[in-house]
């Protein structure tokens, strides 16, 4: 059996090696390493895929979040509501810009923002909400956008883990995750569902004025070359990474289908086992399974992780310390935030390998390894 990886990028690359190598060589031959043709072509292709009016590429997903907040004109002291159960970058950029992160609890099934908790946290200083589409499940955007409209707040979607996911509205219409709020942000980190071979990111918006501001902020605040209207930064997706992403974008839906097939197999194997809760899939969210994350009950996840490692199965505990309990946020009130669902879930979750190249032998070995730890009859 091929050694199991959380994400097997080498096997994925092997399947598309000739196309990727040719695309990179084309960039090298052109020597247009910054803002080359590959960047412009990928930008247009991603716009078409997402149904977004504007896509602005940047250097990474963290930059995307920072640029979004700068483009919206948020000022020091403004409050930004966000979940604590997320990768630290979501809240880190809020603090970096001298804004105030306001942590709210999450839905115990989806792990995404609890809309009721969001509305309770709104104050006269609140200016924006940052929902996170955690693990590939889309937050419940329709009621969230209604709350935002009611209180005249911006919504910045952290879509680093859910690119390609669909959200279905009550009228049956659909939109891609990241295109529903005022600005969507994503990461092309190599392990993402759509990943490049280095760092990369992008912002999405359907607002022409916002798009112009985002482009300025991401390019030293320039409205024209050497004319700097606002304080900005330098954040670009390079041509080599764009060339890789151009090859992988047409494969994204297939990659998502492969991940969902692995998730389906896990769901079936672990159904009815009292010690585990499998990932919830809301009817209005097409889960793209960036991660497959179990909740454990009456079982020690560290011991499970060690047991799986002894069987050659990697498993990850993502975000074991939620943002509101991190030392970096102590001066914002930190642990004073009452987030019982977040605290409970971050102590119970563990993620199993899931990727596009997983074969049936690997999948069966992972399933049996989990079941052997839980003393569950094996197939």
Neighbours of 187 (CB within 10 A): 28
Is 220 a member of any domain?
yes
Report the pLDDT value the prediction gives residue 263, as an integer from 0 to 100: 98
Determine the average pLDDT of the residues in 118-125.
98
Determine the average pLDDT of the residues in 165-183.
98
Together in a domain, 202 and 242: yes
Report the pLDDT value the prediction gives residue 17, as an integer from 0 to 100: 98
Catalytic-labelled residue, pool 192, 248, 311, 348: 192
Report the pLDDT value the prediction gives residue 305, as an integer from 0 to 100: 97
Is 138 a member of any domain?
yes
Is 3 a member of any domain?
no
pLDDT band at 257 (very low <50, low <70, confident <90, very high): very high
Is the predicted pLDDT of residue 376 greater than 90, yes or no? no
Together in a domain, 50 and 197: yes
Is 331 a member of any domain?
yes
pLDDT band at 84 (very low <50, low <70, confident <90, very high): very high
Report the pLDDT value the prediction gives residue 375, as an integer from 0 to 100: 81
- In sequence order, what DSSP letters do the residues of 10-49 get, joined into one string? HHHHHHHHHHHHHHHHHHHHHT--BS-HHHHHHHHHHHHH
Together in a domain, 99 and 220: yes
Is 131 a member of any domain?
yes
Together in a domain, 234 and 269: no
Together in a domain, 226 and 257: no
CATH number at residue 181: 3.40.640.10
- In sequence order, what DSSP letters do the residues of 218-248 get, joined into one string? HBTTEEETTEE-S---B---BHHHHHHHHHH
196, 219, 249 - which closes a domain: 249
How does pLDDT run across 20-32, given as a tens digit for each residue? Answer: 999 999 999 999 9
Please, what sign has the CA dihedral across residues 108, 86, 53, 176?
negative
**Would you call 192 a catalytic residue per the annotation?**
yes
Domain that holds residue 313: 251-375
Check if the beta carbon of residue 63 is closer than 8 Å to that of residue 233.
yes
The residue that leads in pLDDT, 173 or 376, is 173
Is 4 a member of any domain?
no
Together in a domain, 203 and 94: yes
Together in a domain, 199 and 239: yes
Together in a domain, 328 and 285: yes
Report the pLDDT value the prediction gives residue 378, as an integer from 0 to 100: 58
Together in a domain, 54 and 159: yes
217, 234, 249 - which closes a domain: 249
182, 217, 249 - which closes a domain: 249
Neighbours of 73 (CB within 10 A): 11
Residue with tokens 């899939």: 281
Is 2 a member of any domain?
no
Together in a domain, 97 and 171: yes
Neighbours of 282 (CB within 10 A): 17
Report the pLDDT value the prediction gives residue 1, as an integer from 0 to 100: 85
pTM of the model: 0.96
Q: How high is the mean pLDDT of the chain?
A: 96
Neighbours of 2 (CB within 10 A): 12
Is the predicted pLDDT of residue 148 greater than 60, yes or no? yes
Determine the average pLDDT of the residues in 168-179.
98
Give how far the C-alpha of residue 328 lies from the chain's centroid of Cα atoms, to the nearest Å.
22
Report the pLDDT value the prediction gives residue 335, as an integer from 0 to 100: 81
Determine the average pLDDT of the residues in 295-318.
97
Together in a domain, 118 and 262: no
Together in a domain, 258 and 178: no
CATH number at residue 355: 3.90.1150.10
Is 82 a member of any domain?
yes
Give the Cα separation of 180 and 129 in Å (integer).
Answer: 13
Domains contained in the chain, number = 2
């Amino acid at each position: 059996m091929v050694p199991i990886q959380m994400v097997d990028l080498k096997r994925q690359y092997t399947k598309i090696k000739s196309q990727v190598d040719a695309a990179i060589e084309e960039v090298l031959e052109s020597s247009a390493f910054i803002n080359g043709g590959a960047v412009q072509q990928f930008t247009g292709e991603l716009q078409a895929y997402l149904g977004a009016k504007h896509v602005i590429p940047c250097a990474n997903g963290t930059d995307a979040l920072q640029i979004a907040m700068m483009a919206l004109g948020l000022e020091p002291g403004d409050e930004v509501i966000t979940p604590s159960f997320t990768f630290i970058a979501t809240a880190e950029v809020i603090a970096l810009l001298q804004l105030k992160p306001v942590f709210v609890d999450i839905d115990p099934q989806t792990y995404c923002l609890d809309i009721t908790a969001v509305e309770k946290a709104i104050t006269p200083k609140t200016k924006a909400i940052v929902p996170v589409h955690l693990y590939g499940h889309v937050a419940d955007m329709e009621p969230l956008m209604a709350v935002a409209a009611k209180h005249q707040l911006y919504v910045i979607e952290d879509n680093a883990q859910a690119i390609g996911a669909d959200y279905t509205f009550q009228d049956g219409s659909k939109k891609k995750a990241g295109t529903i709020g005022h600005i969507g942000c994503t990461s092309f980190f190599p392990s993402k569902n759509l990943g490049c071979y280095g760092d990369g990111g992008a912002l999405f918006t359907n607002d022409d004025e916002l798009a112009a501001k985002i482009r300025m902020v991401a390019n030293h605040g320039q409205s024209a070359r050497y004319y700097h209207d606002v304080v900005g930064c330098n954040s670009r997706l390079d041509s080599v990474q764009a060339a890789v992403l151009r090859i992988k974008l047409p494969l994204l839906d297939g990659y998502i289908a492969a991940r969902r097939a692995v998730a389906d197999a896990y769901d079936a194997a672990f159904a009815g086992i009292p010690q585990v809760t499998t990932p919830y899939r809301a009817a209005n969210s097409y889960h793209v399974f960036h991660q497959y994350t179990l909740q454990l009950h009456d079982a020690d996840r560290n011991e499970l992780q060690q047991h799986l490692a002894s069987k050659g199965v990697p498993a990850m505990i993502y975000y074991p310390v939620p943002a509101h309990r991190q030392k970096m946020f102590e001066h914002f009130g930190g642990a004073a935030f009452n987030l019982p669902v977040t605290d409970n879930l971050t102590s119970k979750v563990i993620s199993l390998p899931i990727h596009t190249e997983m074969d049936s032998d690997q999948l069966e070995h992972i399933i049996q390894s989990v079941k052997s730890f839980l003393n569950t009859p094996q197939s």
